[in-house]
Amino acid sequence: MVSSNDVAKLAGVSQATVSRVLNNSEKVNAATTKKVNDAIQELNYRPNAAARSLISRKSGIIALMCGPLDDPENAEFSGKTIAYAREKGFITELHIQDPNEPAAVFESIGRSQAEGILAGPIMLVGAGVELLEKSGIPYAFCGMEYQGNGSFISMDNRAAGSMAADYIYSLNHRVVGWLGGNSDEPRLHDRYTGFLERMKQQEIEILSATDAISDWDPILSAMMARKDRPTAIVAATDAIGAYAIDFLIAYGYSIPEDISIVGIGNSKQAAMNYLGLTSVGLPGETDIFKAGVDQLIARINGDSIVPVPKGGLMPELFERKSAVAI
């Protein structure tokens, strides 16, 4: 692990000078400050928790990590979190994860001067998580369970998948499609795991597509071309469920008369009248985004936090018009 001694050696200064630069001391001239900062950047150095405690300056910044904003869950997370953090006296810097280079966002976080990090639904990669653990910066996860040294606030995603399975089974569907659940995204993988476990118990045939898929058209085409095509599809997110509805209607299917669709997330989009997507999720009054900010601020201030139940908060079923019994 890189230390301040390594920075001092590379910059050709004393460790005390490195400490002064970290503290924004006016006693260090511009040329020396630049050498130290260049060394910090080259070594990707981040002060550990003990060193950070010596720095009295508060940045008033919270760093947000989230996935692409074309996913409604990510957009909602970032929008609500930024607004609530402002109410609590913090400004935010947004770090968006590129699915093609998922580790890069952790590297950018490592260069942040934020007092705390709040991570939304993201892809976890080993090297990135290690950087987060070693950063010495308080952090929390919002929207997914995490077992590291941070805290989390989330729906119980495995329970959500199980609940969707029970609902579809209660409607007498016996050939069922599943869309989503990439193993690199823990919240989606947990939803698929809960769904699959419950459906296996019922001995129901599952037609699943769970990889990192960017184009659902061929997947849906293949499912509907089968002789034993599914009578219902469950999607790992409401966004995927909405896409499935649009695709199927475009190809002449009626929803739910020809095929039922269920999503997970209970997003605002799902509740809109034009879509009416039946979904499993948390009630609208349950604001995990505010709770995530509150948890992170408590960690920044060294205050105690109220632990979340193991697995997360229990979801509910919201029946709308996209699924019916057969």
| 79-101 pLDDT, tens digit each | 999 999 999 999 999 999 998 88
Q: How far apart are alpha carbons 62 and 47 in whole angstroms?
A: 17
Position 56 confidence tier, pLDDT thresholds 50, 70, 90: very low
Cβ contacts of 295 within 8 Å, gap of 6 or more: 140, 151, 153, 305
Q: What's the whole-number mean pLDDT along residues 273-290?
A: 90
Q: How far apart are CA 169 and CA 270, in angstroms?
A: 21
Question: Residue 49 — very low, low, confident or very high, per pLDDT cuts 50/70/90?
Answer: very low
Give 239's Cβ-side CA count (13 Å radius): 15
Assign domain 157-283 one CATH number from 3.20.20.10, 3.90.1200.10, 3.30.2130.10, 3.40.50.2300. 3.40.50.2300
Can you tell me the distance from the alpha carbon of 307 to that of 153, in angstroms, rounded to the nearest whole number?
9
pTM beyond 0.85, yes or no: no
Return the percent helix, strand and coil in the chain, to nearest 5.
40, 15, 40
**Which residue spans of the chain are classified as CATH 3.40.50.2300?**
61-155+285-301, 157-283
Residue 53 clears pLDDT 60, i.e. is over it: no
CA gap 10, 38 in Å, rounded: 9
Distance CA 293, CA 130 (A): 22
Q: For 4-53, which CATH class?
A: mainly alpha
Instruction: Output the six-digit token pair for 188.
Output: 């989606």
Q: Find all residues with CB under 8 Å of 173, minimum gap 6, and list them.
A: 204, 230, 231, 232, 260, 326
Check pLDDT > 70 for residue 24. no
CATH architecture of 61-155+285-301: 3-Layer(aba) Sandwich (3.40)
- Outline which parts of the chain fall under CATH 1.10.260.40: 4-53
pLDDT, residue 55, reads 45
